[in-house]
Chains A and B, each alone.
Chain A
């Protein structure tokens, strides 16, 4: 099952976040998620200095 971790994550996240994936759309969503995981890894593997804050602005 190790190799299907992304698939298992998607199943769990779809239920927990209330965003079901229709069977007909599943393959395309998995492919898109695989690309996002690879891109996300590029981001999370980078060691940022501790004093960097997230960029979003609060708009009152």
Chain B
């Protein structure tokens, strides 16, 4: 195995045991990035000098026998909406490239670095996180390591592709309507969207206050849990140790969550469901309206957030983002008020389902990764615009802030992601389920050769 193919936990263990230095691990990852990123286009900012200093500090601590953290010498990178000291937090935009450099790291970066991790840089995304494709007009598209003609998904496309390509074993991203789950699914890795409010949003550039979440990407369930544990405060013990023992009550979401899905995506969901026992189905009522409500609130809050720049410098926005933000800001107040009321109602419908089930399953996407530049998606026998519709299974879930682990179901073809959806605060359960599926060989998230 090459050094860039190991998980974060394995690398940290090897470094702690003195089998390899943090410096050697860093150089292996930098070489990988320099060889492949000119084509994949994951990184918008590289912090190699900082990384070298952090790796040297880890090696020095080990040399003098000082204790090191659980991510000692592990390289990582973040979506470029996280504050990185000394860099403008561009959030995928041209507008914020001229913003004042961040005076401090986001607390998420502080925590991972305190655990010994080594920051490689900032990663590409859709402008202001408003998209599912990472075809950024300013920074170019991020390409899917499994097929460079295809999208890596978005808006955290750089974060997902970087993990799939072996640029780093762990990265951080954000998810407002599916921006962790979609790219994780399309690039064949693990992604966690925690419960709304579970992880601080301090030190990150916002998009939609009602729905913004931050979370990790990884190639193993254990790494995902480890990073989540380092970022959250509410569970006092490691989440994998906090998981319930015994059989789980699992159901596949029917109705909206099967609408338009390809046969291979539905098979992936069934593969996961069968592992947990007899296949049951459940309906989350009015999910189509939930998705619509999320759609309207997103455009409204995003449009209001950027209103001053939409007035002063509309030409500087990505053409894919600008019209949706302007139209969103001008929506009738009634729509937004009723959408927020609907959110409260829909949340209760989900809680009712969790009285019968521990875990709900749904595809992350209706299909495997589309081509870069592809305009439409065939859904239910109809060709619909791809950009607003590929997140149709993720939007209703982030709308009510449920925790989701997106898992990569082993596949001979392009990656297929399945959402493991849990009740609020039950990250441990979803992560443990992912670990069990992984141990059974049902999931696979290897570095793309």
Contacts and interface: CB of A to CB of B under 8 A. Distances in A.
Interface of A: 10, 13-14, 17-22, 25, 28-33, 35-36, 39-40, 42-44, 46, 48-49, 52-56
Interface string B301-320: 00000010011001100010
Contacts of B311: 18-20
B279 interface: no
Interface stretch (B183-191, B340-348, B409-417): B340-348
B334 A10 contact: no
B326 A54 contact: no
Nearest to A56: B340
Given A40-B292, A43-B335, A49 B326 contact: no
Given A33-B327, A46-B286, A55 B343 contact: yes
Contacts of A52: 341-342, 344-345
Contact of B330 (A13, A22, A42): A13
Nearest to A40: B335
B274 interface: no
B309 to A, nearest CB: 11
Sort A-B residue pairs by CB-CB distance and give the 3 closest, nearest first: A28-B323, A32-B327, A40-B335
Given A40-B292, A48-B341, A55 B210 contact: yes
B233 to A, nearest CB: 17
B307 A48 contact: no
11 contacts: A14-B330, A18-B311, A19-B307, A22-B314, A32-B327, A35-B295, A39-B292, A43-B289, A43-B292, A43-B339, A56-B210
A10 B323 CA distance: 12
A47 to B, nearest CB: 10
A55 B340 contact: yes
Nearest to A53: B344
A48 to B, nearest CB: 6
Contacts of B340: 54-56
A3 B286 CA distance: 29
Given A33-B331, A44-B335, A44-B338, 15 more contacts: A18-B311, A25-B322, A25-B326, A29-B327, A32-B326, A32-B328, A40-B332, A42-B292, A43-B335, A43-B338, A49-B345, A55-B210, A55-B341, A56-B210, A56-B340
B interface SS class = helix
Contacts of B332: 40
A28 B318 CA distance: 12
Contacts of B323: 25, 28-29, 31-32
Contact of A36 (B289, B328, B341, B342): B328
A35 B388 contact: yes
A17 B335 contact: no
A41 to B, nearest CB: 8
Nearest to A16: B330
Contacts of B327: 10, 29-30, 32-33, 35-36
A48 B292 contact: no
Contacts of B299: 32, 36
A18 to B, nearest CB: 7
B61 to A, nearest CB: 39
Contacts of A22: 314-315
B378 interface: no
Contacts of A17: 329-330
A46 B289 contact: yes
Interface string B275-309: 00000000000101100110110010000000100
A10 B293 contact: no
A42 B289 contact: yes
B337 interface: yes
Contact of A28 (B286, B322, B330): B322
A52 B293 CA distance: 15
Contacts of B347: 55
A29 B295 contact: no
A7 to B, nearest CB: 12
B94 interface: no
A55 B341 CA distance: 6
B330 A54 contact: no
B293 A29 contact: no
B326 A21 contact: yes
Given A19-B310, A40-B331, A40-B332, A32 B324 contact: yes
Contacts of B319: 28
A41 B246 CA distance: 44
A54 B326 CA distance: 24
Contacts of A20: 311
Contacts of B289: 42-43, 46
Nearest to A18: B311
Contacts of B343: 54-55
